[in-house]
Amino acid sequence: MEKYQHDFEHIFKIYYSRLCHYASKFIDEDFAAEDIVQEIFSNLWEKQFDIASDPVLKAYLFRSVHNRCLNYLNYKKLTDKHHQIIHDKIALSELEYYNSDHGTAKSLFEMEIKIDEVIARLPDQCRNVFELSRQKGLKNREIAIELNISVSVVEKHITKALRIMRDALKDYLILILFFVTLF
């Protein structure tokens, strides 16, 4: 057993990095390439393959890595295809739901109109603060300086505007979440 361990360590030192490099030519994922090579060496260890006297060991190792890489790529292609099919079916189901009479929000266009309506109905000062914050991207302190009000008043107006928007747009929440997850 000690001799086998010594021979195995010697073979491992000689071939491990070369096999990892070889595997990474097939697959662009270094971790997966290393896993494949480690699996080959693990199998070699478990089978107690006669590594000292086998003249075809190098060919065996490279062919094993080659085959495992092909198996990995086929598996990955299959799982990616299935994931895409599932994702497409879910997206189609959700779109059908929102285009049916069951959904409360029928389109992004309707939601955009609703947002504009809600903003237009905000009290004047609240709307000004909200637009400076969310549409122009000003910081609370910059808004306070521009409108000559305190930062705490700015925060109060933004909180009020967000509360009003949240209440008015609650029927659109699922649609918003759906489209946010798509992008």
Q: What is the pLDDT of residue 36?
A: 93
Q: Which of 35, 62, 97 lies at the terminal end of a domain, its last residue?
A: 97
Query: Do 65 and 122 share a domain, yes or no?
Result: no
Alpha carbon distance 122, 48 (integer Å): 78
Q: Which domain, by its residues, includes 60?
A: 2-97
Q: Which pTM was predicted?
A: 0.47
Same domain, 79 and 125: no
| pLDDT tens column, 40-68 | 989 888 877 666 556 678 888 999 999 99
Residues 82, 61 within the same domain? yes
Q: Rounded mean pLDDT of the chain?
A: 82
Are residues 79 and 10 located together in one domain of the fold? yes
Question: Is residue 93 domain-shared with residue 111, that is, in the same domain?
Answer: no
Same domain, 88 and 32: yes
- pLDDT, tens digit, 9 for 90 and up, residues 61-95: 999 999 999 999 888 888 878 777 777 777 676 66
Cα distances (Å, whole numbers) of residue 139 to 116, 130, 146, 171: 22, 11, 11, 29
pLDDT value at residue 105: 45
Count other Cβ atoms within 10 Å, centred on residue 50.
Answer: 10
Enter the tokens of residue 63.
């062919």
In a 13 Å sphere around the CA of 106, the CA atoms on its Cβ side amount to 5
Among 73, 97, 121, identify where a domain stops: 97
Domain count, the chain: 2
AA letter at 183: F
How far is Cα 36 from Cα 158, in angstroms, rounded to an integer? 55
Do 169 and 115 contact (CB within 8 A), yes or no? yes
* 122 Rama sector, left if φ>0, alpha if ψ -120 to 50, beta otherwise: beta
pLDDT score recorded for residue 55: 67
Same domain, yes or no, for 11 and 90?
yes
- Are 76 and 121 contained in the same domain? no
Same-domain pairing of 85 and 120: no
Which residue, 97, 113, 136, sits at the end of a domain? Answer: 97
User: What is the structure's pLDDT at 178?
Assistant: 62
CATH code of the domain containing 143:
1.10.10.10
What is the per-residue pLDDT across 7-39, written as a single tens digit (0 to 9) for each? 888 888 989 999 999 999 988 888 899 999 999
Length in residues, the chain? 183
- Distance, in Å, from the CA atom of 178 to the CA atom of 145, rounded to the nearest integer, reads 38
Report the CATH number at residue 87. 1.10.1740
At 143, list the tokens: 């808004």
Do 138 and 70 fall into the same domain?
A: no
Residues 121, 168 within the same domain: yes
